[in-house]
Amino acid sequence: MLAFLDIGVFELVVIAVVGVLVFGKDLPQAASKAYLQVRKLRGAVDGLRRDTGIDRELRNIERTVREAEWEARRTEAGGGNLPRATPYPVAPPASAPLPALAPPVNPAASESAPATPPIAPQPQADDDAPSSPTAGAAS
């Protein structure tokens, strides 16, 4: 249940000790009230999701994205002009290799790397011009 929070046993013990220190013998009533408030909040959020229809919209968007992904893979594999047999995307056969994806971009790495300064063009040396300042003084 608490796996998504990544809380270990030691953290739970620390939370319990802090709870006992703060609430004392009223800890069971405080925990009960907190549970009731969380339950009320969950009910309100569920009601809001139901009333707005956001779950249905999210499912439609996910389905559209999956269909576009499979259509792109099918087109990339060379079967783009074949009629679709089912309205939903079908997984490619296990023997078919998946298309290669671009390597992931890590913006943190590019920000930490120092920017290279632009390279200034070097002036080209003339054949009759001296190559060093001391060479011109000797002649």
The pair of structure tokens assigned to 59 is: 């499912």
What secondary structure does DSSP assign to 61-99, as a single string?
HHHHHHHHHHHHHHHHTT-TTSPPSSSS--PPPTTSPPP
pLDDT attached to residue 139: 47
DSSP state for residue 44 in the 8-state scheme: H
Contact 89, 67 (CB under 8 A): yes
Instruction: Tell me, yes or no, whether 79 lies in a domain.
Output: no
Contact 15, 31 (CB under 8 A): no
Mean pLDDT across the stretch 5-18? Answer: 87
Q: Nearest-5° angle of CA 78, CA 60, CA 76?
A: 10
Mean pLDDT across the stretch 116-124? Answer: 64
pLDDT attached to residue 10: 92
Ranges of beta strands (E only) in 61-132 are: none
Instruction: Tell me, yes or no, whether 35 lies in a domain.
Output: yes
Per-residue pLDDT for 23 more than 80?
yes
Instruction: Tell me, yes or no, whether 48 lies in a domain.
Output: yes
Instruction: Tell me, yes or no, whether 28 lies in a domain.
Output: yes
Summarised one tens digit per residue, pLDDT across range 60-116 is 999 999 999 999 988 887 755 555 555 555 565 556 565 566 666 665 555 555 556
The pTM of this model reads 0.36
Instruction: Tell me, yes or no, whether 139 lies in a domain.
Output: no
Instruction: Tell me, yes or no, whether 30 lies in a domain.
Output: yes
CA distance 139 to 137: 6
Instruction: Tell me, yes or no, whether 37 lies in a domain.
Output: yes
Residue 43 belongs to what domain range? 24-52
Distances (CA, A) of 41 to 2, 55, 56, 90: 19, 18, 21, 39
* Number of domains into which the chain is organized: 1
Instruction: Tell me, yes or no, whether 2 lies in a domain.
Output: no
